[in-house]
Copies of this chain bind each other. A is one copy, B any other.
Amino acid sequence: MKAEEALRFHNQVCFPLYAAANAVVRAYRPLLQDLDLTYLQYMTLMLLWEHKQMSVKALGQQMSLDSGTLTPLLKRLESKGLVSRARDTEDERVRLIAVTPAGMALRNKAKNIPGQLACSLGVDAAQAETIKHTCEQLLAVLADEQA
Interface residues of A (CB under 8 A from B): 1, 3, 6-9, 12-27, 39, 43, 46-47, 49-50, 62-64, 107, 110-112, 114-115, 117, 120-123, 127-132, 134-139, 141-143, 145-146
Contact = CB atoms under 8 A, between A and B. Distances in A.
Contacts of A18: 21, 24-25, 39
What are the 7 A-B residue pairs with the smallest beta carbon separation, nearest first? A122-B141, A6-B114, A21-B21, A16-B135, A23-B142, A20-B135, A14-B24
Interface of A is mostly: helix
Nearest to A25: B18
Contact of A138 (B23, B64, B111): B23
Given A13-B121, A15-B43, A21-B21, 16 more contacts: A8-B46, A12-B132, A13-B131, A16-B131, A16-B135, A16-B136, A17-B131, A18-B25, A18-B39, A19-B63, A20-B139, A20-B142, A23-B138, A122-B137, A122-B141, A131-B138
